[in-house]
Amino acid sequence: MAKRAFNLPNMLTYARIVAVPMVV
């Protein structure tokens, strides 16, 4: 469960990194 909770913010950070080049 602890791993899943840590995966949530990690996924948001990954989505942000992928969204940056998409916007630019």
Per-residue pLDDT of the chain (24 residues; tens, 9 = 90+): 567 667 788 888 988 998 888 777
The per-residue pLDDT for 5 is: 63
The per-residue pLDDT for 10 is: 84
18 CB-near residues (< 8 Å, 6+ apart): none
The per-residue pLDDT for 1 is: 56
Report helix, strand or coil for 24: coil
The per-residue pLDDT for 21 is: 84
